Amino acid sequence: MTQSGQGRNSARSIVIFFGVMAVFFLVGIWLIIFATGEGIDISGDKVALVRVENIILDSEEINSQLKRWVEDDSVKAIVLRINSPGGAVAPSQEIYEEVERAVKKKPVVASMGAVAASGGYYVAAPCSVIFANPGTVTGSIGVIMNLSNIEKLLGKIGLSPMVIKTGKFKDIGSPYRPMSDDDRQLLQGVADDILDQFIEDVAKGRKMEPDHVRSMADGRIFTGREAVELNLVDKMGNLRDSIEAAARMAKMNPDPEVVEEEERRGFADWLLDGKANTHLARAGMTSGFYYIWPAW
């Protein structure tokens, strides 16, 4: 046989060898799928974990994560892990809106930890499915505003505040004077309107009648088990159950790879044993209206 003929035979043998190996590889994958009876995730698809923790005073970080994972094609579902008593009204509403947008692109599952109350429940409402533990504290659908009056205290130390204003309501809520009936009526009207927004969004997210939500919107809290009976929560389950449910909804392996942004911890977190965010959030709370359960 000539040298060129031997070369062609060698090349042919190599092609045949790799062809046989490819067939065995494909058959092996098929056998695995057949044996398990369900599709196996071999593409590296992931579930992203986004944590909503402590008092909600800003939406930027959480919304940035949601947007990132929605745009990441390797992430097929998102789990929103909530351990929060709520917080300021506008940031809670901004997170709600971002979750609402995310749900239109891929499954978003809420997993409630120790507490997901008021604004913490608000951001869960538009999720595809909501999980809670039996003892999770949730609900607290309502609005609160805390004000103080220090007029008498200032008088005892000889201080007398003087205010120049352009209208009778310009210093409404001031700690330097008593609240008038007109003040209270105006602030109550604002609180009632903000409560209506809460009720409307929960009703929309949970596909419930607004009147049913309103019947629970007196600020009361519920356990996770009670919340299931009231349709505020879908199922009992922990974080693992929520991740598995998200994977099933995305038609993935029920034990998927879970990704999340690395937590940024500073010196204050180390000094306060990881409690810095909670303490700083409380210190950052100013007078105003809140979707918050204040007992947290």
Catalytic residues, which ones? 118, 170
- The type of residue at 271 is L
What sign for the dihedral angle of Cα 96, 100, 40, 262? negative
Kindly provide the b/e burial profile for residues 274-283, where b requires at least 16 CB atoms within 10 angstroms of the residue's own CB. eebbbeebee
How many angstroms separate the CA atoms of 243 and 255, rounded? Answer: 8
Q: d(Cα 236, Cα 231) in Å, to the nearest integer?
A: 12
Question: Cβ(258)–Cβ(44) under 8 Å?
Answer: no
In contact, 72 and 105? CB cutoff 8 Å? no
Contact (CB, 8 A) for 244 and 258? no
